[in-house]
Structure 1
């Protein structure tokens, strides 16, 4: 009796296990099927490749190809257009250059001549050589005498400006320096300009000064410019 009950219990357990396994298998199959819905395998058939190639060829065939004549016309038109533009630019440049040439060249503005000062110019002349003091002004601690020289004689004349004598109205010798004056005046030459500078400290009580210059080395020509007003 006891043995029969054990066999019956074992059969019941086996039945339950088989049932549970069947239910689990069915449930897993159902879940897997639902998960794989819409998933397809790649098409490895050769016919599909030909189909794709045909479709791409049909798309390429939709492009409109120009004929050779039309292409040549377009290229020719562009070349002619560029040529005309280049010719137009060239004509504009030539016209502008012609207009510039026709216009009178503007001369650089020359430095305005100083207005004549009272008592100037003070001039000395000897054997066709002219020595003229055009003006006098104070600047930067110096008295600046603007000087012009010209040789209208037949022979050139040389000068050494260390021989330039400067004296005041009291007979005192003053130191001076020159700038821009030529070492030689050519015969029948142009006018040369320069500056004679005298320190202001030497002119506190001076109203007039005199300049004396001889040629070098002969010292046969003497230029004396006297009574140059230098009052401040």
Structure 2
């Protein structure tokens, strides 16, 4: 009797254990399924990667063609822009040139006014229908500049060597000078020729007046003597 009750108890315990294991397994499966909802595995198929890379490459290498009208408009706008720039630059250059010409035009009358207002000028000498005239003097840098005019009213031409030009101060001392623009030969019935005689200011200390003497070459018939030219500062 005791043996039967022991067997029965053992069977009951086994049954309970099997039931508890089944319930635990069911509960674990249910919890795992609910936890994995919404989770997907990555797509590792090579065909999918190749297809996506092919699509991207085709999009990057696609050539966009412009319409002919748009190209013509772009070219026309660039040409018009360059033309406007060139025209603007040309106008600016013309304005600068006009400004320079106007300033020069204004300077010339001013110079002539200054020459006419200088006292004691012009100083003129004439010999054998040949005229030598000092129109004005001015100091510039380290030189005294004499504006000289020459004219031949005679029929025969006259030649000069300006190394024969004799310049002396009011104390009788000989001065050296450089001539520019004066003609080597004055033709007969000539127009007026203009040049410059430059004298270093270092030679003009305490000098108030100077004199010029010139003769023709080689005949030396002329005696052009321009005296008492005021040079005092």
Q: In which range does the TM-score fall when normalised by the shorter chain? A: 0.5 to 0.7
The Cα shift of 1:3 comes to: 4.9
- The CA distance in 1 between the partners of 2:152 and 2:144, in whole Å, is 26
**Any stretches of 5+ residues in structure 1 without a counterpart?**
37-74, 76-105
Q: CA RMSD in A?
A: 3.0
Over 3 Å counting, the alpha-carbon distance change for 1:32 and 1:173 in structure 2 is closer
1:196 positional shift: 1.6
- Structure 1 residues 190 and 14 mapped into 2: Cα distance closer, same or farther (>3 Å)? farther
| Cα distance change, pair 219–4 in 1 and its aligned pair in 2 (3 A) | farther
State how far apart, in whole Å, the 1-side matches of 2:198 and 2:14 are.
Answer: 142
**Equivalence map 1:96-135=2 (5 Å):** 109=105, 111-112=108-109, 113=112, 114-135=115-136
Whether contact under 8 Å (1:132, 1:147) holds in the other structure is: yes
Within the alignment, does 1:189 sit opposite 2:186 as a pair?
no
Contact 1:116/1:135 (<8 A) preserved: no
Taking a change above 3 Å as real, the CA distance of residues 218 and 17 of structure 1, as seen in their structure-2 partners, is farther
Flag the structure with higher helix content. 2
Residue 145 of structure 1 corresponds to which residue in structure 2? 146
Corresponding residue SS for 1:111: helix
CA 1:121/1:14 → structure 2, altered by over 3 Å: closer, same or farther? same
Partner SS state of residue 221, structure 2: coil
1:79-118, Cα deviation, whole Å (9 max, x unpaired): xxxxxxxxxxxxxxxxxxxxxxxxxxx8751512022422
Q: Could you say if the C-alpha distance between residues 197 and 3 of structure 1 is closer, same or farther in structure 2, counting changes exceeding 3 Å? A: same
Q: Could you tell me which residue of structure 2 aligns to residue 166 of structure 1?
A: 167
Give the deviation of 1:138 after TM superposition: 3.5
Does 1:19 pair with 2:23? yes
* Aligned pairs for 1:5-84 within 5 A: 5-30=9-34, 35=38
SS in 2 for 1:195: strand
How does the TM-score come out when normalised to structure 1? 0.58
Moved >6 Å (runs of 4+): none
Alpha carbons of 1:163 and 1:29: their partners in 2 closer, same or farther (altered >3 Å)?
same
- What is the total number of aligned residue pairs between the two structures? 163
* Larger deviation, residues 133-142 vs 122-131: 133-142
1:116, 1:134 within 8 Å by CA — same for their partners in 2? no
Aligned to 1:80: none
Q: Which residue of 1 aligns with 2:43?
A: none
2:225 maps to: 224
Name the stretch that deviates more: 158-167 or 20-29.
20-29
